Structure 1
């Protein structure tokens, strides 16, 4: 398929459930660490180079043909917080439904049967990219973009930020998004010789802590 498939995967209107999640920015806003466009940019940059890099690596490896069930276990190991593991599998389950309808493939069917509660979202994203005929770096780019695009969209709603300013923020991050995608794809290339340990495992402990707190809120706009 053409690279248009990448636009579809990265489109917020793709019915993968991401619109219901803030990527941790709702909790960050509650703690006042995000309160305007500048602080949102700092939050997104930190998320991109930690969580974004890790998920981009998993997506690239899945698109490269690595065993998706082993990758799913590797994703679990890189997600120490129960709340975030649950979110990743819930998003993965929804993305699997959308991917199987859009890019039917036996591999997607196999993983859906093996992980009825849902595989981790970046693994499914990589499988969807592979089914669409995209390269590992394309899968990594979609995952990296989503790691900042989702929080930015959520922050616009939560803080009534200027949408034009938010778009400008994402444009400023575009070079870094590309760099993260390339690093993730390079790591995926090394899996064949170095094993799954070659994949990024960057962490963001504060995001982990606030995600677990957010899961206990009784009133919230976003699921995560």
Structure 2
């Protein structure tokens, strides 16, 4: 494992369009569910244990693959009831592959794979393993909304990053569990849902004016 390579992959400055997505936070802020740092902590923890868990498992699974990724991609479709979230995931997957191809040689993944599938394949191409792919996936599901919170609510960035630091052990634990399941059939991988994120994404997609794409 190369820790430096993992940092490159998980860096929020990677030109893969992640800064344009709030992970559902913009809709949660508009609905009044997230108003301050305390609310944000609950939002991030809930997102980590739902979207983060699923993303980590599928990224780890894709990293362990050497061939066809279509069943993983279909599995994520089945776990993403919101059409808006499916579009956002595929848009981020496409953008990530574009950045990844500038750095490493990638396998054929189709035109628009889901983001966790693209992330796992990119991790493998970079010489990382399933656990590192899972760490990057789980970390990304909370670091993106955390950054968006500073912009949307004007929160103290030190306090926001303190939340991320406190979540680090949970991210590691989720990543380790995900990496241990790379041999599981796709139907047996985690399917934790977050209905408010799905509903919020559909409402958010109808807004004429918004700061983030999702």
Alpha-carbon shift at residue 2 of structure 1 (Å): 2.2
Partner of 1:219: 209
Of the three residues 156, 159, 165, the one matched with 1:165 is: 159
Which stretch shifts more, 64-73 or 51-60? 64-73
Partner of 2:135: 141
Partner of 2:97: 96
Alpha-carbon shift at residue 214 of structure 1 (Å): 0.3
Aligned residue for 2:102, secondary structure, equals: helix
Whole-Å Cα distance in 2 between the matches of residues 126 and 3 of structure 1? 16
Q: Please, which runs of 5 or more residues in structure 2 have no aligned partner?
A: none
Whole-Å Cα distance in 2 between the matches of residues 169 and 3 of structure 1? 22
Partner of 1:34: 34
Aligned residue for 1:102, secondary structure, equals: coil
Partner of 1:123: 117
Higher helix share: 1
Question: Is 1:176 the counterpart of 2:170 in the alignment?
Answer: yes
Whole-Å Cα distance in 1 between the matches of residues 99 and 71 of structure 2? 22
Partner of 2:198: 208
Which stretch shifts more, 68-77 or 154-163? 68-77
Partner of 1:64: 64
Aligned residue for 1:187, secondary structure, equals: coil
Q: Please, which runs of 5 or more residues in structure 1 have no aligned partner?
A: none
Aligned residue for 1:217, secondary structure, equals: coil
Runs of 4+ with deviation above 3 angstroms:
none
Whole-Å Cα distance in 2 between the matches of residues 93 and 18 of structure 1? 11
Alpha-carbon shift at residue 198 of structure 1 (Å): 2.4
- TM-score between both structures, scaled by the size of structure 2: 0.97
Partner of 1:7: 7
Alpha-carbon shift at residue 29 of structure 1 (Å): 0.4
